[in-house]
Structures are given as structure tokens and as C-alpha cells.
Amino acid sequence: MVLFSLHFTVLEIEGDSEKERRMGRSPCCSKEGLNRGTWTALEDEILTAYIKAHGQGKWRSLPNRAGLKRCGKSCRLRWLNYLRPDIKRGNISHDEEELIIRLHNLLGNRWSLIAGRLPGRTDNEIKNYWNTTLGKRAKAQASSPASTETPPSKSTHKELTTESQIDEPSNSPQSTESKIQGIRTKATRCSSKVLVPLLPAATQDIDINNLTLQDPSELQDYQPYYLTNHQEMDNKTTFQTHHGTEVLDAFYSCGPDFLNFEINDQMQTINGESEENNDINKNLSEDPVQPLPFDDAMFKDWTKSPCLNDNATIDLGSLAFLLDPDEWP
């Protein structure tokens, strides 16, 4: 019955919309006559039924076509954050929490990117969770007495990685706040990349020019990072490669400066979640690799970096799965 009445509404409003279109640009969201605030069950039902029938997209015109007195953006948000069938309900698990912390350290407030690594979770949910829980924890951690004992240092920062550190504020001297300082909050495209294989653990050199990936799935073995350190020899670029987790830890263990680089939007693409692998493969051979701001010694052995001192009881290996979606629970 709802659908029948919807049909009439759609026909009526579509006419108006078309008229508006011909007469010039209609306002994005004329607030007049639109419902605001919490969605009703009926509105949810209408929106869900419409999207199931016609698919999502064209959000601007969707409310008219579906007969909803809502802003298109509001419809999109409601669908993406609440009505989508693949939304994961329930509390953030401990593993998810760890992953959020790690990804936030790596990506900053780029919630959509972080959400992309957490199946079923929305950027809004993660953002809220961070703002209400993890962010406060990080703040408390920053102002904890331990932080005054050891002055914050870019080179001595340790990360939240162990369970005990998660459950209670770490005595890490480096505040998350200071880490966030160096993070871009807006996602931007980047054209350069460094490949850091998750495996093998042993250090090796890769000749990027000779790196050919027969199968796009091979890209899963690599994580691109926007570093600016490299070694160029005779137009060839070689990379010292390391276990991905170690590299990540080393990066954000070293403070905000090291986080001030671009993260590849295609990071999740690399993990086989998109069809653009071929493009990436192509870009690998086309894009020049940018110089990295790291010193050579650091690249020669991450594990000897001062960022990873012996006091850091970080089980890097145990967290490597966080970078491999196949390993996710």
C-alpha cells in the first residue's frame, strides 16, 4: 500500500522537479517543507523499499522520486549509516578497537578510509566512537603523569598496540594529540607510492622498475605508503622492504612528522576491494617515486630505529593480521 501511494507521489513531484530544472538550478536542499531530525519507521521503510527497487545513487532527486520529504543528503546518510543491509550492529569489538587506533594513528581523522578497513562499520560510527571513547582515552593518556616523566619525543614514541595498553591508558609519553597535529584531515590524492610488502619478514630489495605483477591479487602482498625516502640509482629505484606492521609501527612511532605524508586512497583497492588493480599496476610503473624524508639508516633497519626501543613490548607479528583483510576475524 505504501508503494502504491509512493507511485503517485513520485509522478507528481517528478513533474515539479523537472519544471524546476528547466527554470534553473534548484536549491540543494530547500529546507522548507522537509522533515528533519530523527527518521520515522515509515520513512525508513520507504527509503529502503525505494533503494531496493531502484538502487542507490542520484540522492538529490531520490527524495522526490521516492516521495520522501527529506533532503537528498539526509537520505544518503540514513541509508549508508543505518539502513544498509550490510551494516554491522553491536559494540565495537576489541579487535576492531585496536584496528581503529592503529588506523587512526596512520590515517588521522580520515574516517571513511578507516571505515573502509572495518567491514560493516560506518565512518560516522567510527568517528563517534573515537570522539566519545578512544579520543578521550588518548587525551587522558596525553595528560597522564607518565607523560610528564618522559618528555614527548618524536623518536621515543610508542604506540597502543598491546591489549593492556588498550584496556588502560598507556603510559606512553607521546600524546595522541601531538601525533594528530601532523595529520591532514582532508583526504587528498597522491600520485606517488612506496611498496612495502607484508611478507617476507626478511629485508630485501625490490627493483620497482622490474616489479611486475602477473596477477592483480599479488598486490595484496604490498601496502603502498606515501613516504618520501628512497634510494635512486641509475634511474632505478630500490626499496628496502620490511614487514608491513613493523614499518607502520616505526612510522607513527616516530611522531607527527612521519605522519605528514599522503596515504594512498587506493590502499583498500590494493586489498582487492575494487576493480582498479590494473590501474594501480599501471601507475606503479609510471609514477615517479618521491624522495622520502627518512634517513638511510632508518630504512636499513627499522627494528634498530630508536623508535622501536627494547622497552616497547610490542608484539608486532601478532598484529600483522590487521593489515591483511583475509586474516580478519
Partner DNA sequence: AAACCCGCCAACCGCCGCTCA
Partner DNA sequence: ATGAGCGGCGGTTGGCGGGTT
Q: Is 166 in the site for DNA (CB under 7 A)?
A: no
Q: Which of 51, 78, 118, 194 binds DNA (CB under 7 A)?
A: 78
- Interaction of residue 133 with DNA, rule CB under 7 A: yes
Residues 36-65, one symbol each (x = binds DNA by CB under 7 A, - = not), give xxxx-----------------xxxxx----
Q: Which stretch binds DNA (CB under 7 A): 1-9, 34-42, 93-101, 282-290?
A: 34-42
Q: How far is the CB of 109 from DNA (least distance, A)?
A: 4
Q: Answer yes or no whether residue 283 interacts with DNA by CB under 7 A.
A: no
Size of the site for DNA (CB under 7 A): 46
| By CB under 7 A, residue 189 contacts DNA | yes
127 binds DNA (CB under 7 A): yes
C-alpha cell at position 232? 635512486
Site for DNA contains 73 (CB under 7 A): yes
Q: How far is CA 59 from CA 8, 67, 84, 136, 190, in A?
A: 19, 13, 15, 35, 28
181 sits near DNA (criterion: CB under 7 A):
no
Q: Which is nearer to DNA, 117 or 242 (CB)?
A: 117
Which of 9, 10, 45, 112 touches DNA (CB under 7 A)? 112
Region from 30-38, 165-173, 297-305, 307-315 binding DNA, contact rule CB under 7 A: 30-38
Stretch that binds DNA, among 28-36, 201-209, 300-308, 320-328 (CB under 7 A): 28-36
Site membership for DNA, residue 69 (CB under 7 A): no
Judged by the rule CB under 7 A, the positions of this chain that interact with DNA are: 24-26, 28-29, 31, 35-39, 57-61, 70-74, 76-78, 81-82, 109-113, 123-125, 127-129, 131-133, 136, 185-189
